[in-house]
Structure formats: structure tokens, C-alpha cells
Structure 1
Amino acid sequence: MVTVDDIPVSRVEWKGAVRIIRSAFPPIDLFEDIADPADWPLLISAEQKSNPRVTASVGNLDLVPIERRVGGHGASYLMAPFTHVSPDRPSRFTDGTFGVLYVGNAFETALFETIHHHERFMARTAEEAGWTSQFREIILSVHADLHDLRGPRRRSHPALARDDYNASQELGKRLKGGASDGVVYPSARHAGGECAGLFYPDCASALVQGRHLDYRWDGERVDLVRNAGSGEVFRVVDLPDHPTSS
């Protein structure tokens, strides 16, 4: 049994936190609208009469309590992780039955976290080497009271296992059921970095789209990252540090 009694809650206020997502996911019109989130079900019902694909776009809105929904510019990137869930897409703190919004406290942390998971995906596809994937950087602010797994006393917590997510998923389920806003924890992919797994979209705000990034797959790993705007290329080194410009 994963216990939560010994995990303290800390106020986390991060400005300039970073989330990196696939560019293939476009903004969702409903979430970007200025309409009151409480009115969204009525708007969806009306829109479905002329656009039957709207439900697939929005996802399962019932997974987010009305009082915790967010709307307006950039809201797609906050809402979508919670309305588009699947047991086929588990992650560290969820078995896929509920959503978690993951962010890093710095660009390098978010970069190395996404590179790790992208490498695992690409290894299963047997895709040929090349510039195969495009991502976008989302810069945002985090403001939430989170269960805190940081610090030397919690370094050996089973939820921080590098690649085994059984304990962390059980912890996430217990915390979500106990009305937690989420978890803050040390990054397993970037030494010194910190990550947050948020259980509700209103735990973050002030979204700004940053750089567009290209990842190069060499057949075994992501070896290069390119800033699609400037053309600058960075080599990804094996050490859990920031990439060095090439």
C-alpha cells in the first residue's frame, strides 16, 4: 500500500515553467472561446448538430469539474490533458483513467523528460533515422498546493522509481481521490530539475507559446534538437545535463 500521510504539501509558485507537446495537437476552439465554461455543455450540444466531430475534438468534458475548468487564450493546452484520457496512455502518476498535466520548472527539464518518452515511442516504431517529430514549447505559471516528493528524506520513495510506475500510479490514484491538486517531484531525466504533475487545469495559467522544436531520431535515440524558428541545432548529450550547441 502506498501511503500519503508522510508526504507534506508545499505551495508551488513557478513562473516560466515549461511543457513541451507534439505540434500535431491543434488548439480546441471551444476551450479558446470566451464563453463561460459552465455554458460549454450547451454549446457542445448545439455545435454537434452541424459538426458531429466536435465531441472527438473536445473529449470527455465530464472529467473536469465545472468549477475547475478554464477557458480563453491558451486554455486548450490546460484542458486537453484532462478531457482526452485513455488506459492506453498511462504515465507516471496515472493509469490513464484520469488526466495529469506535466510541466518542468525549466526548459531543459521539460526537454529531457519529453526526449526520454519520445525515444521509447520511437524505439517501438522501427522508424528510419531523420527529423521525424515536431514539438512546441508552452511557457506557463504554476500556482498550487502540491504533495511534495522533493528533498533527501523522500529520495527513496517508491513513487520516484526511475522506470517502474506501479507505485507512482497507485499514489496518484490515492492523491486524486483525496482531493489533492497534484505532485511536485524531482525529475528522473534531468539532474537538479523539478517536475509537477497537476490534477486540475486551474493549477496553471498565463500560457504563452514559445519555440517550435524538431527532434532528430538517429535510429536508436534522439541525438539532435533544432529550434525550428532560428535553425539553431543542439546536440543531446548522454549526461543528464542541458544540451550543448553544435
Structure 2
Amino acid sequence: MVIDIAVFPVSDVEWQRSVRIIRSVFPSIDLFEDIADPADWPLIISAEQKTNPRLMETIGNLDLVPEKRRAAGPGASYLMAPFTHVSTDRPSRFSDGTFGVLYAGNSFEVALFETILHHGRFMARTNEPAGWTSQFREIILKVSVRLHDLRGGNPHAQEALSPNDYSASQALATTLRVEGSDGIVYPSLRFDGGECVGLFYPDCAADTIQARHLDYHWNGTTVDLYRDASTGQVYRIV
């Protein structure tokens, strides 16, 4: 398949409070949080592995992120982890699993509806019983970057915006990434009027802040409720 990337405009995306929701089971990674200079990471990893052979299970594959595109300091785990922990067993809309993509929405509602869809699919596939399930974290982050734009009803973008078939979107993202793109901005397919980004490198976002802890309720068919763990307040998803 030959993809002409010239048919996709590039737009400045400036979101001061974009939102990403992740599973709480993933802990912060001390190397990314505490060591300010990514240039020092390889030596530190080499030394640490002598006493902690399981270190790389936590860090992931650092070689997947070019040194100049790495993020470090407080909150960096939330930026680095999507790129160092990848697998072809976990493809996504804009990746076949051989490289990482950081997804975020332009509002909490967008991030919520994007994640409950995928969580619901997992619960259905594994035939999970009804009840309160996995804990999640709301991550607030700033996005300030030029991205290839699939918004605005561009007819060339329609295949890449298929609700369930990711073959065209993965092929497009692979081509764009090879050609030097920083990522894609696109309309949310799960929350009407919302927008999402798929970022190809950690340094495309910054100023990450952990916000609320959330619980999702699975009713046996769909995710119908979420709970703010800090207040205990339960909200119905409609």
C-alpha cells in the first residue's frame, strides 16, 4: 500500500489539560522519575542489573525511544511507559505493537469513553462476572506539538477512522512515523465532538499530573458506572 502523506495537513495542537486514563496497577518507574538526564540512564541500568536482574521488566525496552526524544523527571513514567512497554500482542489504533503510541483525549469525558470501550471488550472476551473491577488513574498532561490532522471530514482519513478495523490506521501511522511525524490528532470515535491525539514520542507531552483514582463497574455486558475513589461518589455512564 502506497500512502501519500501530503493529503493529511499538519496542525498545531495546544491542549493545556489533556487527559489520559491508565490502569493503576502500573507503578512509577524510578529511573524515569529520579534521574534527570536520560544520557545517564544506560550506565545506571548496567550497574543496577548486577543486583536487580528483573530491572528491565520494570523499565521495558529503552532502545525503542531515541535518546533525544526521552522524557525525564517527575511524572516522566506516564510519558515513557507507553513507548518502552510494547508488544505485538497489544496492538492499538495507530500501532501494530512494534512501537509505542501515547493516547490522550482533550477532556476527561473523551478519555473515559475511550477506555471503558476497551475495558469492556476485555471483560466480555474473558467472560468476567459483574462487579467493580480494575482501578484506574486519571493523568493530566500538556500537549504542545504539530501533528498530522485527521479531523475536518478529510475523505482520505475515513479508512483510518474505522471504528473497529485498525489495519488502515496502523499502516498510516507507520508511514507517518517513518517520515518524521510526531503523531496524529483525530476525532474521538467513542465520544461525539471529542478529540484525541496519538503521540509517537514521549517529549510531545509534558507537565504530567496524577489526578483522580477511578473504579469501573462491569454489569456483565458493559461498563455502566465509574466511581471516584477519593470521594466514593458513583456516576452512571450514559
Q: Distance in 1 between matches of 2:203 and 2:157?
A: 30
Report the counterpart of residue 124 of structure 1 in structure 2. Answer: 125
Q: Distance in 2 between matches of 1:4 and 1:67?
A: 25
Deviation at 1:62, TM superposition (A): 0.5
Report the counterpart of residue 207 of structure 1 in structure 2. Answer: 208
Deviation at 1:156, TM superposition (A): 5.5
Deviation at 1:125, TM superposition (A): 1.0
Deviation at 1:34, TM superposition (A): 3.1
Report the counterpart of residue 75 of structure 1 in structure 2. Answer: 76
* One-letter amino acid of the counterpart of residue 74, structure 2: H
Q: Distance in 2 between matches of 1:153 and 1:11?
A: 17
Q: What fraction of aligned residue pairs are identical, expressed as a percent?
A: 68
Deviation at 1:157, TM superposition (A): 1.9
Report the counterpart of residue 143 of structure 2 in structure 1. Answer: 142
Deviation at 1:3, TM superposition (A): 3.0
Q: Distance in 1 between matches of 2:70 and 2:168?
A: 28
Whether 2:13 is the aligned partner of 1:12: answer yes
- Unaligned runs of 5+ residues in structure 1 are 238-246
Report the counterpart of residue 49 of structure 1 in structure 2. Answer: 50
Q: Distance in 1 between matches of 2:173 and 2:227?
A: 34
1:64-99 Cα shifts (integer Å, max 9, x gaps) = 000011111000000000001100000000000000
Q: Which secondary structure does the structure 1 equivalent of 2:5 belong to?
A: coil
Q: Distance in 2 between matches of 1:234 and 1:95?
A: 34
Q: Distance in 2 between matches of 1:224 and 1:144?
A: 34
Matches within 5 A, 1:88-107: 88-107=89-108
* One-letter amino acid of the counterpart of residue 209, structure 1: Q
Report the counterpart of residue 241 of structure 1 in structure 2. Answer: none
* One-letter amino acid of the counterpart of residue 153, structure 1: N
Whether 2:90 is the aligned partner of 1:111: answer no
Q: Distance in 2 between matches of 1:99 and 1:44?
A: 21
Report the counterpart of residue 228 of structure 2 in structure 1. Answer: 227
Q: Distance in 2 between matches of 1:56 and 1:73?
A: 20
- For the 8 Å contact 1:3–1:171, the answer to whether it is kept is no
Q: Distance in 1 between matches of 2:155 and 2:204?
A: 23
Q: Distance in 1 between matches of 2:104 and 2:156?
A: 20
- For the 8 Å contact 1:225–1:235, the answer to whether it is kept is yes
Q: Distance in 1 between matches of 2:210 and 2:149?
A: 28
Report the counterpart of residue 172 of structure 1 in structure 2. Answer: 173
**Which runs of at least 4 in structure 1 moved beyond 4 Å after TM superposition?**
none
Deviation at 1:133, TM superposition (A): 1.1
Question: Structure 2 vs 1, CA of residues 97 and 156 (structure 1 numbering), >3 Å: closer, same or farther?
Answer: closer
Report the counterpart of residue 34 of structure 2 in structure 1. Answer: 33
* One-letter amino acid of the counterpart of residue 81, structure 1: P
Q: Distance in 1 between matches of 2:157 and 2:96?
A: 22
* One-letter amino acid of the counterpart of residue 137, structure 1: E
What is the Cα-based RMSD across aligned positions, in Å? Answer: 1.0
